[in-house]
């Protein structure tokens, strides 16, 4: 029997109660209550009703206990979580007044949670608070609310708030919310975007193409250079695989290269293969592959693509510059030589012949100087086109330089076949050339060299052809000559002469002689003509008729002419300074010299340098100058006249006539050519022509000089015709400077 508060509980009832309720619950219930419930019920309820009531009450107590214990655990866990989260958690009542806030309130809004409780959400934010009066519709659990919250420091912060309503539509209990400060995340996202943009900008500014390829071959990333190379858009590239951009025959090679880079950490190497553009065009490229690894794992292959198109185009351009003429596009001398060597080797094995033709346009230098170099270059291109259309395809046409061209004719039967080619080339010039609105008639001189299986080289063939070509010019131009290696061959002799002439000019071996010009009546020396002489070490004095045309053709005449002018002015001025009889000096000027820029300034400089008075100098022009551009010649002659220098027309009456230009040019002297003077004492019209020229010169107010006077009879005839001055062997040949001075003094004394 147990007694508690005066109540007795039988042992049997206590055991039954412990078994039913359990010790933990019994210990939590006041013992008096347990004893009361354990008493037998009223008799009218029956003895078992007390126990039934006790058990029902105990069950209710157990349920409440367990609910309160669970609620306590949940709240404890929620409070722990609310303090661990970086977000502000809050609850409000139905009026929007904060009833709860976690410790993060001070981090997010700067408020102590206790300070935040009691404030209205509407006062803490901008704009109306959603779902405060209207709970969420059925099926919606929460909404996202982006608004500005007022920070405790007086600033506004844009925050994201997730709201949900508590209670139901019929019985709302307020709001529950989570306020998240996303500035760090937004800054991170912004920094990531900027980093990605910088990365893409860096990729797109790269000159080479770049793509990132996954292990399965899909293109993950590409830059603008690669897309431009392939003719693809960024969207198209993102949908492609390696097999879509690599031609089929290169796919296995490409895959093998990618695989090798996956397991190898070797320095990336370059490989040449092809890619395929969107239009199917194959592209020669050089690629470099590098594996992309992160945390020890392969994430793909980075491929750099270098387009070889431009570099190969540049290489081809360089090759063409080395092997082809830039003006005409024809092969140049170097490429021509290589083809000749190949043709000679083939000819020796096949028992055939090889021919080389040297072509030179007749009088082109004069045409070029007259028209101007730009126009002359266009004419050369036209000539090259004409020749290309007439030279057989199996032959090689090349430009040798200037207005000279070469033709290689391999695999010929002999000399007759080479002559046929020469005639074919001549026929190409039968029709005039339409150039800058003018019809120009050009001719060509051709030298031909033919060899069979004997030992020869390109240099020998060109040398023979060049000499033969010059012989063709000497024979009247517009024709061809077959050259040979014979020591007596005129073409070879001419070539040797040109070589010697170049050496003589280079070493200053040309000399200036002077031929006196005398008054016809008194015989007094009034002037001298400066004449160029070439004392050859083996051949003696070479005739000016041989070497002067060579000077013109080679262009050496410009430098040589200036040297002669300077020497003559210096020598004649020295004669006068040394007390000699003052005379005037006449110097021949090539038409090409007249076209030298600032020729008038060149003459002025020489006069100032030597001290010779301008009136003591006369420049002689040949009749070929008459075909030069009128405006250009007039300008030069005007400058000379302004200096006080006089001009003379040499060889008047032969070649192109000066008659149409005499009234235009400021000329001082006419020189009657020796051709007419030599015949004035013979039957015929020579005397009449000379008399007419003298009369014409006097009518125009010009001084007239007769050249080539060799006999007294010729002198008498010229006196009778009132010729002003004479020069020739009758009085004196061309003399060295010292001899000329002595002759002048002797004539003056006589």
CATH code of the domain occupying 508-749: 3.20.20.450
Of 258-272, 347-361, 430-444, 530-544, which gets the smallest average pLDDT?
A: 258-272
pLDDT at residue 457, as a whole number = 78
- 3-class DSSP string for 28-69: HCCHHHHHHHHCCCCCCCCCCHHHHHHHHHHHHHHHHHHHHH
- pLDDT for 1 equals 42
Task: Among 129-143, 297-311, 344-358, 645-659, name the one with the lowest average pLDDT.
Answer: 129-143
Q: Residue 612: pLDDT above 80?
A: yes
pLDDT band for 6, please (50, 70, 90 cuts).
Answer: very low
pLDDT at res. 414: 81
In the prediction, which pLDDT does 5 show? 43
Higher pLDDT, 234 or 37: 234
Residue 82 pLDDT = 59
DSSP string, 361-403: ETTHHHHHHHH-HHHHHHHHHHHHHHHHHHS-TTSEEEEEETT
What CA–CA distance (Å, rounded) separates 686 from 287? 86
Specify the higher pLDDT residue, 545 or 83: 545
What does the pLDDT read at residue 617?
A: 95
Can you list the alpha helix ranges (DSSP code H) found in 85-141? Answer: 105-108, 113-116, 121-124
Span 217-236, average pLDDT: 88
Longest alpha-carbon distance in the chain? 197
Residue 308: helix, strand or coil by DSSP?
Answer: coil
Q: Mention every residue, 6+ apart, whose C-beta is less than 8 A from residue 665.
A: 633, 634, 637, 647
Q: Distance (Å, rounded) from C-alpha 626 to C-alpha 605?
A: 26
Would you say residue 238 has pLDDT above 90?
no
Tabulate helix, strand, coil % of the chain (nearest 5): 45, 25, 30
Tell me: the pLDDT tens digits for 399-438? 988 889 999 998 887 888 888 899 999 998 988 888 777 7
Residue 10 has pLDDT above 70, yes or no: no
How large is the average pLDDT for residues 231-241?
88
Query: What whole-number distance in Å separates Cα of residue 226 and Cα of residue 569?
Result: 72
In terms of Cβ atoms closer than 10 Å to its own Cβ (0-12, 13-18, 19+), residue 14 is middle
What's the pLDDT tens digit per position in 32-66?
Answer: 454 544 555 444 344 444 555 555 656 666 666 66
| Superfamily name with CATH number, domain 85-181 | PAS domain (3.30.450.20)
Q: Counting Cβ atoms within 10 Å, is residue 474 exposed (0-12), middle (13-18) or buried (19+)?
A: middle
CA gap 316, 322 in Å, rounded: 10
Domain boundaries, the chain: 2-80, 85-181, 187-312, 324-495, 508-749
SS3 label, residue 86: coil
Give the CATH architecture of domain 324-495.
2-Layer Sandwich (3.30)
DSSP β-ladder status, 143-150 and 98-101: unpaired
Please give the distance of CA 175 from its chain centroid, rounded to a whole number.
72
Cβ of 310: how many Cβ atoms within 10 Å?
9
The pLDDT of 10-21, averaged and rounded, is 56
Instruction: Supply the DSSP symbol for 120.
Output: B
Note the pLDDT of residue 538. Answer: 85
CA distances to 89, 90, 145, 264 from 94, in Å = 17, 13, 18, 68
Q: Residue 172: which H helix or E strand, with range? A: strand 172-180
User: Tell me: domain 187-312, CATH 3.30.450.20, correct?
Assistant: yes
- Phi first, then psi: give them for residue 314, nearest 5 degrees: -65, -40
DSSP 664: T
| Alpha helices (H) in 611-661, listed in sequence order | 630-643
Residues 554-584 pLDDT 10s: 889 999 999 999 999 999 999 988 877 889 9
Q: Given this chain, do its domains 85-181 and 187-312 carry the same CATH topology?
A: yes
Of residues 698 and 77, more confidently modeled: 698
Q: Give the residue among 621, 700, 617, 622 at the shortest CA–CA distance from 662.
A: 700
Q: Whole-angstrom Cα distance, residue 342 to residue 111?
A: 98
pLDDT band at 306 (very low <50, low <70, confident <90, very high): confident
**Residues ≥6 apart with Cβ < 8 Å to 460:** 449, 451, 485
Per-residue tokens: 333? 């001398």
pLDDT at 616: 94
pLDDT, tens only, 130-185:
877 666 655 457 888 888 888 888 888 888 888 888 877 777 888 888 888 766 67
Q: Please state the φ and ψ torsions of residue 398, each to the nearest 5 degrees.
A: -135, 160
Mean pLDDT of the chain: 81
Q: Give the residue among 105, 172, 82 at the shortest CA–CA distance from 135.
A: 172
Residue 43: per-residue pLDDT:
44
- What is the per-residue pLDDT for 15? 60
Check residue 52 and give its pLDDT: 58
Place of tokens 């901008």: 126
Rounded to whole angstroms, how far apart are CA atoms 313 and 309?
Answer: 6
How high is the pLDDT of residue 563?
Answer: 94
Question: Rounded to an integer, what distance in angstroms lies between the CA atom of residue 544 and that of residue 540?
Answer: 12
Whether residue 485 has pLDDT greater than 70: no
């Amino acid at each position: 029997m147990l007694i508690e508060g005066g109540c007795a509980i039988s042992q049997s009832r206590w055991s039954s109660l412990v078994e039913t309720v359990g010790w933990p619950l019994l210990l939590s219930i006041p013992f008096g209550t347990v004893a009361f419930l354990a008493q037998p019920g009223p008799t009218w309820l029956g003895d078992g009703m007390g126990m039934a009531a006790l058990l029902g009450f105990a069950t209710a107590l157990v349920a409440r206990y367990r609910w309160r214990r669970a609620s306590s655990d949940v709240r404890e866990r929620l409070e722990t979580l609310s303090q661990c989260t970086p977000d502000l958690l809050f609850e409000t009542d139905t009026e929007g007044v904060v009833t709860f806030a976690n410790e993060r309130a001070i981090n997010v809004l700067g408020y102590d949670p206790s300070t935040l409780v009691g404030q209205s959400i509407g006062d803490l934010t901008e704009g109306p608070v959603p779902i405060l009066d209207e709970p969420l519709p059925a099926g919606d659990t929460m909404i996202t609310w982006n608004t500005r919250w007022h920070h405790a420091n007086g600033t506004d912060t844009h925050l994201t708030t997730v709201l949900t309503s508590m209670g139901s539509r019929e019985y709302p209990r307020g709001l529950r919310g989570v306020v998240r400060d996303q500035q760090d995340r937004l800054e991170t996202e912004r920094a990531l975007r900027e980093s990605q943009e910088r990365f893409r900008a860096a990729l797109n500014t790269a000159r080479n193409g770049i793509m990132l390829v996954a292990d399965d071959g899909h293109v993950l990333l590409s830059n603008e250079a690669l897309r431009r190379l392939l003719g693809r858009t960024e969207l198209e590239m993102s949908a492609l695989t390696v097999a879509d951009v690599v031609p089929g025959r290169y796919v296995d090679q490409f895959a093998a290269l990618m695989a090798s880079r996956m397991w190898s950490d070797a320095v990336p190497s370059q490989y040449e293969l092809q890619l395929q553009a969107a239009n199917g065009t194959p592209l020669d490229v050089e690629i470099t592959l590098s594996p992309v690894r992160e945390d020890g794992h392969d994430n793909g292959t980075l491929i750099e693509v270098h387009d070889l198109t431009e570099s190969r185009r540049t290489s081809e351009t360089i090759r063409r510059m080395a092997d082809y003429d830039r003006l005409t596009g024809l092969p140049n001398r170097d490429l021509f030589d290589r083809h000749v060597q190949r043709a000679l080797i083939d000819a020796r094995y096949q028992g055939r012949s090889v021919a080389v033709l040297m072509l030179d346009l007749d009088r082109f230098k004069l045409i070029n100087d007259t028209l101007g170099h730009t126009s002359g270059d266009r004419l050369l291109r036209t000539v090259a086109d004409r020749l290309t259309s007439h030279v057989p395809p199996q032959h090689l046409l090349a430009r040798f330089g200037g207005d000279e061209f070469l033709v290689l004719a391999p695999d010929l039967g002999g000399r007759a076949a080479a002559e046929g080619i020469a005639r074919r080339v001549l026929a190409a010039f039968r029709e005039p050339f339409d150039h800058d609105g003018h019809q120009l008639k050009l001719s060509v001189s051709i030298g031909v060299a033919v060899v069979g299986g004997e030992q020869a080289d390109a240099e020998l063939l060109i040398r023979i052809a060049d000499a033969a070509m010059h012989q063709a010019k000497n024979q009247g131009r517009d024709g061809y000559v077959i050259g040979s290696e014979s020591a007596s061959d005129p073409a070879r002799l001419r070539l040797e002469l040109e070589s010697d002439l170049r050496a003589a000019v280079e070493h200053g071996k040309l000399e200036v002689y002077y031929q006196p010009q005398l008054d016809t009546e008194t015989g007094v020396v009034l002037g001298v003509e400066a004449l160029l002489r070439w004392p050859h070490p083996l051949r003696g004095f070479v005739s000016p008729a041989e070497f002067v045309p060579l000077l013109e053709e080679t262009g050496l005449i410009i430098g040589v002419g200036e040297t002669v002018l300077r020497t003559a002015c210096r020598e004649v001025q020295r004669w006068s300074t040394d007390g000699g009889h003052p005379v005037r000096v006449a110097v021949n000027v090539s038409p090409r010299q007249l076209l030298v820029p600032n020729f008038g300034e060149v003459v002025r400089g020489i006069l100032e340098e030597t001290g010779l008075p301008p009136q003591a100098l006369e420049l002689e022009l040949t009749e070929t100058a008459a075909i030069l551009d009128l405006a250009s010649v007039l300008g030069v002659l005007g400058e000379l006249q302004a200096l006080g220098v006089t001009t003379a027309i040499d060889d008047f009456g032969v070649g192109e006539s000066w008659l149409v230009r005499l009234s235009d040019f400021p000329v001082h002297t006419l020189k009657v050519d020796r051709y007419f003077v030599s015949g004035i004492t013979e039957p015929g019209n020579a005397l009449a022509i000379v008399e007419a020229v003298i009369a014409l010169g006097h009518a125009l107010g010009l001084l007239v000089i007769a050249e080539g006077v060799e006999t007294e009879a010729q002198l008498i005839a010229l006196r009778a015709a009132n010729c002003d001055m004479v020069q020739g062997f009758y009085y004196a040949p061309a003399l060295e400077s010292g001899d000329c001075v002595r002759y002048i003094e002797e004539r003056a004394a006589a």
